[in-house]
Amino acid sequence: MNDTAHTPESSAGASGQPRQMTWWRRVILGIGAPVAAFVLRLWWSMYRFELEEPDAILELGRTQLPAVFAVWHEGLLTVCWYVSRLLKRGVKATFLISPSVDGEIGVRILAQFGSRAVRGSARRSGAAALRRLHRAIIEDRQSPFITLDGSKGPRRYCKPGAIAVARMAGVPIVPIGVAARRSWRTPTWDRHLIPRPFSKVLITVGEPITVPRKLSDDELEIQRRDLEDEVNRLTGICEERLGVRSDTSSAETGRPLEES
């Protein structure tokens, strides 16, 4: 895996000209990726992580069975700590990262933790991205982390991508909830969660969900709503145990960070 891992596509810059992987960009990426990985580890060290997961997830590392992990976009930065933990257990946790030059930094940061990225853009070419994720699961036994509400939202609305991938590959979906006792929320569409230093962070992993190979449109919608409800339920459990108020509001561009 995979055919685009070392040949990122160009991306248009401000001038409209495509960006190329020039020698100086390679130098910057070569320096920047280890620094970014170090900063992430340093950032994680400031928090008190607590992880709750079923025995079925512990089996993934021992059996090398892949799965699709599902989380809201707002918890992505925090859940990367869990990704690093899974990698140490032998689970080939990974992400779908843009094939553009801009996405190369994410690829190299993943490599610092021993993971390989799946290159593709669900927003620009959803079908091709699904095929690449499917191939990564089947051929390389990778376990992708997918943000259910995508890269643009709406916030906490489950899109069918994770279900489609799990259905194609015949693997379960693992829902995840995340919360922090003290945090900031960014003024972005997802109101991204940023735990405050020395805060307790709780990550709750649900039981694997089996996706039937054959689903009617109505059954697919039921599956989508059930997955949405489950991730919301797990998020609510995390918030309740930490004693924080659930954040269900929508972000407004330009608003300052709000502490919860």
CB 238 within 8 A of CB 204: yes
Is residue 5 in some structural domain?
Answer: no
pLDDT at position 10 is: 43
Q: 131: burial class by Cβ within 10 Å (0-12, 13-18, 19+)?
A: middle
Nearest to 39 by CA among 116, 103, 93, 105: 105
E strand or H helix that includes residue 124 = none
Query: If DSSP codes are grouped into helix, strand and coil, which group holds residue 70?
Result: strand
Higher pLDDT, 233 or 256: 233
Is residue 173 in some structural domain?
Answer: yes
- Report the C-alpha gap between 222 and 209 in whole angstroms: 13
- Tell whether omega for the bond before 66 is within 30 degrees of 0, i.e. cis: no
Is residue 148 in some structural domain?
Answer: yes
pLDDT tens for 34-78 read 999 999 999 999 999 999 999 989 888 788 899 999 999 999 999
- Report the C-alpha gap between 238 and 160 in whole angstroms: 24
pLDDT tens for 139-198 read 999 999 999 999 899 999 999 999 999 999 999 999 999 999 999 999 999 999 999 999
Residue that has been written with the tokens 């910057």 in this structure: 28
- Report the C-alpha gap between 254 and 103 in whole angstroms: 26
CATH number, residue 147: 3.40.1130
Question: How many domains does one find in the chain?
Answer: 1
Please, how many CA atoms are within 13 Å of residue 234, restricted to the half-sphere of its CB? 26
Q: 225: burial class by Cβ within 10 Å (0-12, 13-18, 19+)?
A: exposed
Q: What is the CA radius of gyration of the chain?
A: 18
pLDDT at position 193 is: 96
> Helix crossing, 76-89 with 55-63: angle to 10°?
50
Is residue 53 in some structural domain?
Answer: yes
Q: Let me know the angle formed at the C-alpha of 199 by 195 and 201, rounded to the nearest 5 degrees.
A: 70
pLDDT at position 62 is: 83
Question: Taking the model in full, what pTM does it have?
Answer: 0.85
Is residue 170 in some structural domain?
Answer: yes
pLDDT of 257 > 60? The answer is no
Is residue 13 in some structural domain?
Answer: no
Is residue 104 in some structural domain?
Answer: yes
Is residue 51 in some structural domain?
Answer: yes
Structural domain harbouring 77: 23-259
